[in-house]
Structure 1
Amino acid sequence: MDSGSRQQRSLNPSNGKTIEKPKVVVIMGPTGSGKSKLAIDLASHFPVEVINADSMQVYQGLDVLTNKVPPHEQKGVPHHLLGTVSPNIEFTAKEFRDSAIPLITDILSRNQIPVIVGGTNYYIQALVSPFLLDDSTEDVDESCYTGLSGDEQADLEFDSGRDDSNYRYEDLQDLDPVAANRIHPNNQRKINQYISLYARSGVLPSKLFQGKAAENWGRVDKSRFNCCFICVDAATPVLDRYVEQRVDCMIDAGLLDEVYDIYNVNGDYTRGLRQAIGVREFEEFLKMYLSTIRNNGATESIDAFLNPVSTNTHDETLKEHMRAILKSSGNNQLKILLEGAIDKVKLNTRRLIRIQKRRLNRLQTLYEWNIHYVDSMEAISCKSDESWAADVVGPAVNIITTFLSDKERMVPKLEDPKSTSKEPIQRDLWTQYTCKACGDKVLRGAHEWEQHQQGRRHRKRISQLRKSQAFCLAEQRQPHSSFKS
């Protein structure tokens, strides 16, 4: 298959010449759905090379906790940006884009197909969307910036790289209260970026998302690449059970050793690898565990802490003791803290699944991404290789084959079954909504507000409030004399 068949032809309106757009395959989906496995299995059908787009797997270390595909399971398929970045730096969406573009060019030059794989959607947006074609702000009507940081961020932030300035949240409120409503008051990195952007361009951050910029934000029709988006997905309860089992397997595979090694009482949990789910959850346990050892341990244990020569041996002893705590009978305080940390990892992973699913839905409904869904539910539920081949690999191969043969318009768009919208949702992306019924929970944008209102927890809370109010009204109407013993 020649490289020309992997390009999309389009006309340059300025000179009428044909421009070739590189073709790339993008595999998306929530954690645990099988993205990495599908990418590797595609190598049996196409000459592929994988570019990792997981914001934690890019870092060196925590191979078990971040669920990196080990070399023996990669089946000889080249993987790029997997465990290559220093764990102590912040690898932004802009840096991912700047690293991935030359990799794509290099892969195409070898007549291979670049396959972008990962659940970090803001990495993928930064790579394929037009708002990061360049870093200039000369024409803000034609370009805008994005780059979410962490799983708690909204889907509408830019990333212009790191900035060492130290502005206050109040400064941003005074400058641009609309933009200030989009971020948490403690998100220092975004505060710096917003104000620095204004200092460079003279344009308020919120203004970047008005007019044509608001229309084009998140769109891929003017992307530098011709993309085939495939989402591996499964029902949320199925993924919940799977990731809980996976956390247990990670514990057996050495997760506790990894979090022990990365633990630092003065560590910065807002940058680099320490942001990963599964690190901070163990902080309280490790703090008490090491304090207990220091205060109550044998003399030789204390000496080992002070003697660098014996540090490695002592660390191995402490790791072994941690595993023994987890397997011990009884409910001492350390075991309770350790089991609680593991439960938090499972809870936060389940929350991540929901965040990823919401973002995928936004890409499809708000920005009209043509995402082709393949269902891995049966394969995950039954742990069936036959179902995996039939339900996931087969449909994905058919979609990619059609895409590479320049017949992608003939590929049926497999809609997310939860998505019933036929028209793009009106893009109210900046308005802040507050739900009093749910404890003053803050929602950003009309779409997020509508999704919240349709959520089970919100509806349950509203029902409870209505029942409570009805009971209070009935009690007020009922004379006390009518109650009889």
Structure 2
Amino acid sequence: MTVCMNQSRKEKVVVIMGATGTGKSRLSVDLATRFSGEIINSDKIQLYNGLEIATNQITIPERCGVPHHLLGVIPLDEGEVSASEFRSLASRSISEIASRGKLPIIAGGSNSFIHTLLVEHFDPESNPFSSMPSISSELRYDCCFLWVDVSVSVLFHYLSKRVDQMMESGMFEELAGFYKPRHSGSTTTLSGIHKTIGIPEFDRYFELYPPEKNDKVCEWDSARKAAYEEAVQAVKDNTWQLAKKQVERIMKLRCSGWEIQRLDATASLRSSREVWDKTVLEESIKTVKNFLLKD
């Protein structure tokens, strides 16, 4: 399906939201392949080029040939990407995608960046999710919001298991290769890629046990094994805290007038592709079709 854009109207964009691990990337690719779409990453950590396991970047095979924008484009040694910079970069991507008759699909877990990109009037000095929220319901695009949600208990156990799988897939070695000793007692505020869950947790581990070549787990003493397990548990705890914060922010956007459709992906997280297609994808396709046909 080719998307026809009327220049006198707001550009249509699909926005896929949700906590980490719920299937946002999966749904974005599924919809992009069916609606001639291109995907714009809205996860501030996945902007950086590197640490693909720790940042949970979608792999090349998983992208199914769909163009991805603002994914792994910032060098690791660059600092924080500001909200203003993201708004400029993502706006340009939306315009370029729409000019080719394609559907822009925004997918990612950084709800502050999503708000920054979509609102008509952006205040770089304001935090929309602070104790005094300043969430705007005036949007500069015609948006179709899809929220991939999973029940608390199922998501909690899934994220714990996913961290274990990430460690088995090489996350520990990835973090060891990235580690750089800091000055003792340093209180430098983390920024940019250093905010990635896994880096600060394992920095504390590597301060005690610096990375070594030919390091063999079977040769670790009990203290080192305990320190490793403590770091892994910290990654799990902080991943869960992130997921809760992401859902809280989506709820705040909903309460502020954003028309966000919730998709219950709980069953699909524990089951086959067929369950995903039935419970999440079919409803999403129907919603996007109606959205694109709407004047």
Worse-matched range after superposition: 266-275 or 61-70: 266-275
Identify the match of residue 273 of structure 1 among 193, 209, 214: 193
1:103-118 matches, cutoff 5 A: 103-118=93-108
Please say if 1:358 is aligned against 2:248: yes
Distance (whole Å) between structure 2 residues aligned to residue 31 and residue 282 of structure 1: 20
Q: Deviations over 1:247-292 (max 9, x none)?
A: 11111111011111221222855111011111100122101112xx
SS in 2 for 1:254: helix
Deviation at 1:86, TM superposition (A): 2.0
- What is the letter of the counterpart of residue 282 of structure 1? F
Distance (whole Å) between structure 2 residues aligned to residue 114 and residue 319 of structure 1: 44
What are the ranges of 5 or more consecutive residues in structure 1 without an aligned counterpart?
10-18, 133-143, 149-153, 157-181, 183-208, 291-314, 408-485
Deviation at 1:107, TM superposition (A): 0.3
Distance (whole Å) between structure 2 residues aligned to residue 249 and residue 74 of structure 1: 20
Match of 1:13 in 2: none
Deviation at 1:218, TM superposition (A): 2.1
Distance (whole Å) between structure 1 residues aligned to residue 207 and residue 33 of structure 2: 47
Would you say the 8 A contact 2:32–2:39 is kept in 1? no
Larger Rg: 1
Identify the match of residue 153 of structure 2 among 237, 247, 257: 237
Match of 2:119 in 1: 129
Would you say the 8 A contact 1:256–1:319 is kept in 2? no
1:421-440 matches, cutoff 5 A: none
CA change 1:2–1:389 in 2 (3 A) is closer
CA change 1:58–1:288 in 2 (3 A) is same
Distance (whole Å) between structure 2 residues aligned to residue 265 and residue 128 of structure 1: 39
Would you say the 8 A contact 1:22–1:225 is kept in 2? yes
1:367-386 matches, cutoff 5 A: 367-382=256-271, 384-386=272-274
Match of 1:286 in 2: 206
1:49-448 matches, cutoff 5 A: 49-88=38-77, 89-132=79-122, 144-145=123-124, 155-156=129-130, 217-220=134-137, 222-266=138-182, 270-290=190-210, 318=212, 320-321=214-215, 324-325=216-217, 328=218, 332-365=222-255, 367-382=256-271, 384-406=272-294
Would you say the 8 A contact 2:41–2:69 is kept in 1? yes
Deviation at 1:145, TM superposition (A): 3.9
Deviation at 1:3, TM superposition (A): 4.5
Would you say the 8 A contact 1:260–1:286 is kept in 2? yes
Deviation at 1:320, TM superposition (A): 4.2
Number of matched pairs: 290
Distance (whole Å) between structure 2 residues aligned to residue 331 and residue 358 of structure 1: 41
Distance (whole Å) between structure 1 residues aligned to residue 112 and residue 72 of structure 2: 19
Distance (whole Å) between structure 1 residues aligned to residue 114 and residue 107 of structure 2: 9
Match of 1:449 in 2: none
Distance (whole Å) between structure 1 residues aligned to residue 189 and residue 231 of structure 2: 16
Identify the match of residue 16 of structure 2 among 19, 23, 27: 27
Cα RMSD (Å): 2.1
Would you say the 8 A contact 2:163–2:236 is kept in 1? yes
Match of 2:31 in 1: 42
- What is the letter of the counterpart of residue 343 of structure 1? Q
Deviation at 1:343, TM superposition (A): 0.5
SS in 2 for 1:374: strand
Would you say the 8 A contact 1:269–1:280 is kept in 2? no
- What is the letter of the counterpart of residue 54 of structure 2? L
By relative contact order (CA 8 Å, sep 6+), the higher-ranking structure is: 2
Would you say the 8 A contact 1:131–1:218 is kept in 2? no
Distance (whole Å) between structure 1 residues aligned to residue 213 and residue 60 of structure 2: 25
Distance (whole Å) between structure 1 residues aligned to residue 71 and residue 39 of structure 2: 9
Deviation at 1:2, TM superposition (A): 5.5
Compare the two structures and name the one with the higher helix fraction. 1
SS in 2 for 1:394: helix
Distance (whole Å) between structure 2 residues aligned to residue 345 and residue 91 of structure 1: 23
Would you say the 8 A contact 1:129–1:219 is kept in 2? yes
Q: Deviations over 1:200-235 (max 9, x none)?
A: xxxxxxxxx8xxxx8xx4233x32211111000100
Would you say the 8 A contact 2:24–2:108 is kept in 1? yes
Distance (whole Å) between structure 1 residues aligned to residue 219 and residue 279 of structure 2: 43
CA change 1:320–1:387 in 2 (3 A) is farther
CA change 1:269–1:69 in 2 (3 A) is farther
* TM-score normalised by structure 2 residue count: 0.92
Identity %: 34
Distance (whole Å) between structure 2 residues aligned to residue 381 and residue 404 of structure 1: 31
